[in-house]
């Protein structure tokens, strides 16, 4: 079966100073594999530094992979970059808008990279800007837009080619609830229309709302893949008790609670079970 997006045993390694690592290398992505089906939203969920953005940079072809394969509709991103990228729309975590162009010109120029005519590019741009609530800002310079508006322009720009695969790297981080709601609605419409979506996020709420399946990524490895419902049942407790414990004091489970979970910094989902155990 040919998936819109298929990632097989992806590795990405960087050369670093010997002071940082005795081997002289840092491996940011360590054997990541997953597939995204048509009409599916697949989430990469993990904390900052987990390897989400590096994985996405390899998928987009911006970073060459150290090893492994990335295929978009069967085309290898690194061996057939022009063909593969025809089917790809991407919104990176960093802002990549060109401040030399206003909003509409920005959109039309991006459409031209996909050999879309000026008239068709303008028509698509008008539709997208209206959908994102930006039709009144079409002639405005990029510098005059708020951060949330700029993010909406970036996502709209990624959609102008009507991609088969949409890749969004933490698109809602730092946005207010209203802007986040607009982006969520557009993503759900794209998924319903058959688009394959890869979403990276560190918000479990966002993954639960939008994603059909989620891959938990931590220190460059995918630890588990399942539906949000199943992952929550496996890893997130129903009740969470947080208690400050002074150094040297033995912590004991309260007698009337069957399960108590302590919040542990560094756990992939932020929590680690303390079931029936004492902790110091």
Distance in angstroms (rounded) separating the CA atoms of residues 210 and 37: 15
The answer to whether 183 and 175 have CB atoms below 8 angstroms apart is yes
Q: Band the pLDDT of 272: cuts 50, 70, 90.
A: very low
Q: For the chain, which residues make up each domain, given as ranges?
A: 5-233, 237-280
Q: With 70 as the cut, is the pLDDT of residue 246 above it?
A: no
pLDDT of residue 255: 58
What is Dmax (Cα atoms) for the chain?
Answer: 72
Write out the DSSP string of 249-263: PPB---TT-S--EEE
Of residues 16 and 210, more confidence is placed in 210
Angle between helix 147-159 and 118-131 (nearest 10): 130
Q: With 70 as the cut, is the pLDDT of residue 258 above it?
A: no
Average of per-residue pLDDT values in the chain = 86
CB count within 10 Å of CB 101 equals: 15
Classify domain 5-233 by CATH architecture. 3-Layer(aba) Sandwich (3.40)
Q: What is the DSSP letter of 190?
A: H
The answer to whether 12 and 65 have CB atoms below 8 angstroms apart is yes
Distance in angstroms (rounded) separating the CA atoms of residues 269 and 215: 12
CA atoms within a 13 Å half-sphere pointing along the CA-CB vector of 7: 25
Q: Band the pLDDT of 271: cuts 50, 70, 90.
A: very low
Question: What pLDDT digit, counting tens, does each position of 84-133 carry?
Answer: 999 999 999 888 998 889 999 999 999 999 999 999 999 999 999 999 99
Of residues 175 and 8, more confidence is placed in 8
Q: What is the DSSP letter of 21?
A: -
pLDDT of residue 190: 95
The H-assigned helical ranges of the chain are 52-60, 81-85, 103-112, 118-131, 147-159, 177-192, 204-210, 228-235
Q: Is the pTM of this model over 0.85?
A: no
For residues 208-214, give the mean pLDDT: 95
Dihedral sign for Cα atoms in the order 258, 264, 267, 271: positive
């Amino acid at each position: 079966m040919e998936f819109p997006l298929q990632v097989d045993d992806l590795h990405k390694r960087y050369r670093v100073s010997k002071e940082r690592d005795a081997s002289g290398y840092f491996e940011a992505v360590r054997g990541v594999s997953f597939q995204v089906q048509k009409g599916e939203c697949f989430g990469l969920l993990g904390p900052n530094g987990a390897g989400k953005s590096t994985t996405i940079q390899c998928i987009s072809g911006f970073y060459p992979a150290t090893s492994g394969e990335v295929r978009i509709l069967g085309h290898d991103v690194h061996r057939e970059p022009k063909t593969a990228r025809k089917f790809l729309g991407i919104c990176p975590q960093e802002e990549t808008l060109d401040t030399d162009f206003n909003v509409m010109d920005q959109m039309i120029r991006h459409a031209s990279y996909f050999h879309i005519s000026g008239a068709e590019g303008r028509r698509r741009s008008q539709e997208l800007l209206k959908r994102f609530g930006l039709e009144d800002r079409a002639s405005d310079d990029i510098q005059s837009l708020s951060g949330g508006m700029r993010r909406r322009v970036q996502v709209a720009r990624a959609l102008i080619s009507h991609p088969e695969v949409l890749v969004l790297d933490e698109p809602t981080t730092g946005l207010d609830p209203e802007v986040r709601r607009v982006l969520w609605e557009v993503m759900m419409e794209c998924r319903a229309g058959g688009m394959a979506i890869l979403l990276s996020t560190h918000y479990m709420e966002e993954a639960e709302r939008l994603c059909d399946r989620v891959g938990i990524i931590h220190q460059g490895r995918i630890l588990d893949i399942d539906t949000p419902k199943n992952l929550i049942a496996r890893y997130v407790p129903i009740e969470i008790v947080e208690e400050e414990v002074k150094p040297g004091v033995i912590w004991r489970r309260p007698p009337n609670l069957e399960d108590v979970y302590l919040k542990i910094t560094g756990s992939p989902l932020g929590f680690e079970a303390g079931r029936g155990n004492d902790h110091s």
